[in-house]
Amino acid sequence: MTDGSNDRIERLLALLLLQNMKTASIATKAKELSMAGFTHAEIADLLETNSAVVRQSLYAARKKNKAK
């Protein structure tokens, strides 16, 4: 397989993950995609937002987890 094919497969798997998380918040989706190894820019593209929103969402999630 070429790198292009791998990219396409990764994107399809990410979209399947998001499909299964329809009612989840952007922060939850961003966290799952981040744990799967996607960059902030890639996550922003998948969630149709910008990387600043993704960074803030992930920061808030980490901060919330530390408080627990």
What distance in Å separates the CA atoms of residue 17 and residue 3, rounded to the nearest whole number? 21
| Per-domain residue ranges of the chain | 3-67
What distance in Å separates the CA atoms of residue 25 and residue 2, rounded to the nearest whole number? 33
pTM for this model (two decimals):
0.78
Residue by residue, pLDDT tens for the chain (68 residues) are 567 788 888 888 888 888 888 888 899 999 989 988 899 999 999 999 999 999 999 999 888 888 86
Give the sign of the dihedral formed by CA 26, CA 31, CA 36, CA 38.
Answer: positive
What distance in Å separates the CA atoms of residue 5 and residue 59, rounded to the nearest whole number? 32
